[in-house]
């Protein structure tokens, strides 16, 4: 005799938690890169720093008044460290308009 099984779901269900997830709408786009300050954020992975510097050089060739800031990925962290949420405060302190993050490899 073959048994029949009625089974429940093993997978996570957002509705199990009353904790509401934050919904984040993407930031407004820049009107142009001309005259803007761009934060470069390197987080851990090999050669991400070189890639960011290469991209900055290429962008700089297109927009001569573009400014770049090599940002730490959070308060008290160093260029290249694992990031934390305080990166948002740093972005405000640096007054950056946009950011490029070497993020995963």
Residues 42-61 that bind other proteins (CB under 8 A): 43-52, 54-55, 57-59
- Least distance between other proteins and beta carbon 67 (Å): 14
- Give yes or no for residue 6 binding other proteins (CB under 8 A): yes
Q: Shortest CA distance to 45 belongs to which of 83, 80, 79, 78?
A: 80
Cross-strand pairs, 37: 67
Which residues have a Cβ under 8 Å from the Cβ of 62 and sit 6 or more positions away? 33
Residue 20 has φ and ψ, to the nearest 5°, of -85, 140
Give the binding-site size for other proteins (rule: CB under 8 A): 71
| 72 lies in the binding site for other proteins (CB under 8 A) | no
Q: Does 28 bind other proteins (CB under 8 A)?
A: yes
Determine if 76 is a binding residue for other proteins (CB under 8 A): no
């Amino acid at each position: 005799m073959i048994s029949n099984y009625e089974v429940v779901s093993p997978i996570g269900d957002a509705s199990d938690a009353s904790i509401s997830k934050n919904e984040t709408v993407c930031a407004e786009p820049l009107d142009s890169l001309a005259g803007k300050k761009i934060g470069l954020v390197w987080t851990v992975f090999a050669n991400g720093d070189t890639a960011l510097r290469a991209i900055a050089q290429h962008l700089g060739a297109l927009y001569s008044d573009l400014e770049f800031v090599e940002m730490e990925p959070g308060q008290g962290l160093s260029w290249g460290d694992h990031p934390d949420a305080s990166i948002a405060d740093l972005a405000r302190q640096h007054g950056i308009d946009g950011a490029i993050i070497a993020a995963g490899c």
